[in-house]
Structure 1
Amino acid sequence: MKYRRVGNSGINVSEIGLGSWLTYGTASEQAAADACIQQAFESGINFFDTANAYNNGAGEEALGSALRPYNRSSYVLSTKVFFPMGEGPNDRGLSRKHIIEQCDASLKRLGVDYIDIYFCHRYDDQTPTEETLRTLDDLTRQGKILYAGVSEWSSSQISEAARIRDRHNLYPLISNQPIYNMFERYIENEVLEVSHSEGIGQIVFSPLAQGILTGKYKPGKNIPQNSRAANNHVNGVINSYLRDDVLSCVQELDNVAKELNLSLAQLSLAWVLRHKGVSSALIGASRPEQIIENVKAVEVELKSDVLEEIENILAKIKDFAPLR
């Protein structure tokens, strides 16, 4: 495993991190969570990500339970706040009330004394950004969180946060958590540049486009049984990828991977990690073997001719925009 600093902070995370979105949170999945986290530690992964909204808190409980046997100082744990956690008008967003209440609830569900990186899961246009940042600063000073970050914030929102930070001498944000993969590249336009200038690293989710970039879905073929796309409860945006032109490009990318003696997942993760502004790429795993395969991507360095070939393939669907 290799490790990178998160932005300008001093904390180091594994280039491959383990997320728990749509993966852990039911009693039947606890054994899978335990096995995957054991394999993650054996593979050198030290970064684990979840959110209070995943399965309405059950995702945090499952991850916390699976991490309990391990020394707290041996891993970096992140969770998030923003999405509704109840029916009340204050049970959502980034108000001081909601953040403080949910931070305490997350600590209890996770069974830990502190959260390493606490993310604002989205931007809240109903709450002054200064209120949100002051609350995160207070939680940091209290030791409940060590660092703060945001998720899917735009370049202008990140710049606004930086101005408020400087004006009030607040603890800085160290990370943004955006979606980033070969099909969803909006952060390349402005977010990466602004984040770099403000000392913010990217911890990206969905680097394999919810499994599309594993090659399991074929153009003109039926959706595999037991795959995410076959599960109406969790397939979500993945259905927008299931177009023959997109899947044909995936097959071409798979051919590139095979020429390099890589799996398509390894090629896709190495492509994401090619950018030094990316601190870590979050994978999901329901089986330890998936982790064993994916972590090999950190050893792959894609040469310029391969990157050019990938760009030529992706250019065939340059107007494709997944629904999310």
Structure 2
Amino acid sequence: MSPIVKVEFDPKNMPFRRLGPSGLRVPVFSLGGWLTLGGTVLGDPVKEIIKVAFDNGINMFDTAEAYAKGKSEEEMGRVIKELGLRRTDLVITTKLFWGLRGGPNDGGLSRKHIIEGTKECLERLGLDYVDVIFAHRPDVSVPMDEVVRAFNWVIEKGWAFYWATSEWSAYEIEEAHHVANKLGLQGPIAEQCQHNMFHRERPEKEYHGLYKKYDLGTTVFSALASGFLTGKYNNGIPDDSRFAMHAMFKNTVDSLEREEGLTKIRKVKELSKLAETELGCTVTHLALAWIAKNPNTSTVILGASKPEQVLDNLKALEVIPKLTPEVMDKIEAILENKPAAPPTFGRPALDSYGRL
């Protein structure tokens, strides 16, 4: 018997994009569980956050086996069932690599862990399949043909529709495609990478050739630089912030007292002024819209510890059309970190109207 559907999906004003080269359509803004859902946020608040997101056009939810040691998947699966969401209305993605135990085969990207890990992810989610399964990190100890074959086996079993990568190098993504093409199998359709105004080299330069060659799409995380681009750290570290609550950000916190960190704070203040005076929004909305405007971005994964954050972040949708070439130039003048174009070694530029 099919589960009773209690809530019909209404995309509202949410724009949708193709996820990389696939036919799968994903919302420009999605919701992720990293550090929050199942971690610092448990129980009814998780349901409230997911419901508000769903009610406002977000139907893609991202998690991972490693998030809160599996609790993120459990909480997300529980809420999907309790809210009565139709499975076909949802795009659910999860990720494999670290596993939950310390055994020699309980992590990584061996065929064993990819297959057993996928089964455990589905059990925690309470679902028959996920839409996309990500390789959460590359595994240099496993031959690429084993990785590609294993993810395709998972797809053939119907446990996932697509596979993708997260924090892989361009070389590794390229190798995966070469192996997939050689074997007549499906290559990765997307890369889940960190991309924000202060982290640009890999997504904008290293991956540059992959976007055109493989139609690669990105599912961006940390678009707000873990909250740094909200301006909340301009005058210190709030006690309830990610920087204060998670030890992984210690190096980032320490850097705020050095020239590098002070320069970033100055730039956030300048971006805030631009956002408020010229665009009528906050620097948060500007930073999210800036990432969403990138044509290679398939979806921007939002993080939230309360429903109000989801609603506020979605105001960025109104800012995207305001990012004219003139405004983008002003942003670049503040950031001063646009990745350099590949060297031409003196060769003259090609005609801009021809094929580059």
* TM-score bucket of the superposed structures, by smaller chain: over 0.9
Amino acid at match of 1:309: K
Correspondence for 1:285 among 293, 304, 308: 304
Q: What aligned pairs does 1:188-227 form with structure 2 within 5 A after superposition?
A: 188-218=204-234, 221-227=235-241
Q: Is the 8 A contact 2:198 2:337 kept in 1?
A: no
Residues paired across the two proteins, number: 316
Amino acid at match of 2:296: G
Provide TM-score, normalisation by structure 2. Answer: 0.85
| 1:15-35, Cα deviation, whole Å (9 max, x unpaired) | 001011000115962222111
Q: Check if 1:8 corresponds to 2:21.
A: yes
Which residue in the other structure is 2:89 paired with? 74
How large is the Cα RMSD of the aligned pairs?
A: 1.7
Separation of aligned partners in 2, 1:283 and 1:64: 18
Amino acid at match of 2:290: W
Which residue in the other structure is 1:271 paired with? 290
Structure 1 residues 10, 236: CA separation in 2 closer, same or farther (over 3 Å shift)? farther
Separation of aligned partners in 2, 1:196 and 1:238: 33
Separation of aligned partners in 2, 1:197 and 1:272: 21
Offset of residue 276 of structure 1: 0.9
Correspondence for 2:35 among 5, 9, 22: 22
Correspondence for 2:56 among 43, 51, 61: 43
Amino acid at match of 2:211: S
Amino acid at match of 1:5: R
Q: What aligned pairs does 1:92-131 form with structure 2 within 5 A after superposition?
A: 92-131=107-146
Which residue in the other structure is 2:268 paired with? 250
Structure 1 residues 245, 80: CA separation in 2 closer, same or farther (over 3 Å shift)? same
Q: Is the 8 A contact 1:90 1:97 kept in 2?
A: yes
Q: What aligned pairs does 1:47-196 form with structure 2 within 5 A after superposition?
A: 47-68=60-81, 69-186=84-201, 187-196=203-212
Amino acid at match of 1:283: L
Amino acid at match of 1:291: V
Q: Is the 8 A contact 2:200 2:338 kept in 1?
A: no
Offset of residue 288 of structure 1: 1.1
| 1:259-311, Cα deviation, whole Å (9 max, x unpaired) | 21111111001110111111000110011111111112223221111111111
Provide TM-score, normalisation by structure 1. Answer: 0.93
Separation of aligned partners in 2, 1:312 and 1:261: 19
Q: Give 3-state SS (helix, strand or coil) of 1:35's partner.
A: helix
Separation of aligned partners in 2, 1:62 and 1:99: 22
Q: Give 3-state SS (helix, strand or coil) of 2:22's partner.
A: coil
Separation of aligned partners in 2, 1:96 and 1:51: 18
Structure 1 residues 240, 138: CA separation in 2 closer, same or farther (over 3 Å shift)? farther
> Greater CA deviation, 43-52 or 24-33?
24-33
Which residue in the other structure is 1:298 paired with? 317
Q: Check if 1:228 corresponds to 2:249.
A: no
Higher relative contact order (CA 8 A, sep 6+): 1
Structure 1 residues 280, 232: CA separation in 2 closer, same or farther (over 3 Å shift)? closer
Q: Is the 8 A contact 1:24 1:30 kept in 2?
A: no
Q: Is the 8 A contact 1:228 1:234 kept in 2?
A: no
Separation of aligned partners in 2, 1:11 and 1:99: 22
Q: Is the 8 A contact 1:94 1:124 kept in 2?
A: yes
Offset of residue 86 of structure 1: 1.2
Q: Is the 8 A contact 1:209 1:238 kept in 2?
A: no
Identity, % of aligned pairs?
39
| 1:34-65, Cα deviation, whole Å (9 max, x unpaired) | 11100001110011000000111111111111
* Larger Rg computed on CA atoms: 2
Amino acid at match of 1:245: T
Q: Is the 8 A contact 2:136 2:165 kept in 1?
A: yes
Q: Give 3-state SS (helix, strand or coil) of 1:281's partner.
A: strand
Separation of aligned partners in 2, 1:112 and 1:91: 21
Q: Give 3-state SS (helix, strand or coil) of 1:32's partner.
A: helix
Separation of aligned partners in 2, 1:307 and 1:228: 29
Offset of residue 157 of structure 1: 1.0
> Greater CA deviation, 295-304 or 280-289?
295-304
> Greater CA deviation, 75-84 or 119-128?
75-84
Offset of residue 225 of structure 1: 2.2
Structure 1 residues 316, 158: CA separation in 2 closer, same or farther (over 3 Å shift)? closer
Offset of residue 193 of structure 1: 2.6
Which residue in the other structure is 1:322 paired with? none
Offset of residue 126 of structure 1: 0.2
